[in-house]
Amino acid sequence: MAFEQPPLPYAMDALEPYGMKAETFEYHYGKHHKAYVDNLNKLTADTDLANKPLEEVIQTSYKDGKAGIFNNAAQTWNHTFFWNSLKPGGGGGGTPTGDLAAKIDKDFGSFDKFKEEFSNAAATQFGSGWAWLVDDGATLKVTKTPNAENPLIHGQKPLLTLDVWEHAYYIDFRNARPAFIKNFLDNLVNWEFAAANLAA
């Protein structure tokens, strides 16, 4: 059974009015994400990992030091999670509500403090990587990870992510990563997705 690239949860041009062009998705989803899925299938063909759930492949390959499989498996998972962290139609950004909002206020002190921590993590991740909002046991935390690494291998539950690999923002924001981060938080972040992950 081959690993499959899930369809984007919206049209490639759905985020154009909100700072991310269809061209970004043509390259980022259509080429980068697809390449990770294709490479993962090549690397796991005829192995016992080929029929395992993706999350299990990530955990096993990381533990066993199989960097090639881990990098492609984790990047396959990370990108699917990232697409769902973005909300089309102008409904993204703003502030969360309900249990998630209360938990953010409790664990960070305020929503503004969360935004500050998340923005700082995303901006200071040197080179390629990811910024995450995670549930770490009973506490929400902001983390950052390099390259393909993700919270699953650290026993944390990811709620939300921002891809800060350069190809995620260069078409839209050139080298201005802070502007990309601000646009994500102001216009694109999918708080319903994060809230559903917290409740799961």
**135 SS3 class:** strand
- Above 80 in pLDDT, residue 18? yes
pTM above 0.95, yes or no: yes
CATH 3.55.40.20, the chain: domain bounds:
98-199
User: 89-107 b/e with 16+ CB inside 10 Å = b?
Assistant: eeebbeebeeebeebbeeb
CA distance 188 to 18: 7
Ranges of H-type helices in the chain: 22-27, 34-44, 54-63, 67-84, 98-108, 111-124, 170-173, 177-183, 191-199
The structure tokens listed for 3 are 């690993």
| Predicted local confidence at residue 118, as pLDDT | 98
Which of the four CATH numbers 3.30.499.10, 3.30.470.10, 3.55.40.20, 3.30.230.10 does domain 98-199 have?
Answer: 3.55.40.20
DSSP state of 6: P
Q: What is the mean pLDDT of residues 24-43?
A: 98
Q: What is the mean pLDDT of residues 68-74?
A: 98
- For residue 132, give the nearest of 141, 124, 95, 199 by alpha carbon: 141
| Predicted local confidence at residue 149, as pLDDT | 98
- Above 90 in pLDDT, residue 1? no
CATH 1.10.287.990, the chain: domain bounds:
21-84
CA distance 116 to 41: 39
In this structure, are residues 40 and 68 in contact, taking their beta carbons and an 8 Å threshold?
no
| Predicted local confidence at residue 107, as pLDDT | 98
| Predicted local confidence at residue 165, as pLDDT | 98
- Above 80 in pLDDT, residue 4? yes
| Predicted local confidence at residue 114, as pLDDT | 98
In this structure, are residues 22 and 16 in contact, taking their beta carbons and an 8 Å threshold?
yes
| Predicted local confidence at residue 85, as pLDDT | 98
Q: What is the mean pLDDT of residues 58-76?
A: 98
| Predicted local confidence at residue 185, as pLDDT | 98
In this structure, are residues 132 and 150 in contact, taking their beta carbons and an 8 Å threshold?
yes
Average pLDDT, the chain: 97
Which of the four CATH numbers 3.40.50.970, 1.10.287.990, 2.60.40.10, 2.30.30.60 does domain 21-84 have?
Answer: 1.10.287.990
Residue 64: band (very low, low, confident or very high) from pLDDT cuts 50, 70, 90: very high
| Predicted local confidence at residue 95, as pLDDT | 97
Q: What is the pLDDT of residues 110-157, one digit of tens each?
A: 999 999 999 999 999 999 999 999 999 999 999 999 999 999 999 999
| Predicted local confidence at residue 50, as pLDDT | 96
DSSP state of 166: G
In this structure, are residues 3 and 37 in contact, taking their beta carbons and an 8 Å threshold?
yes
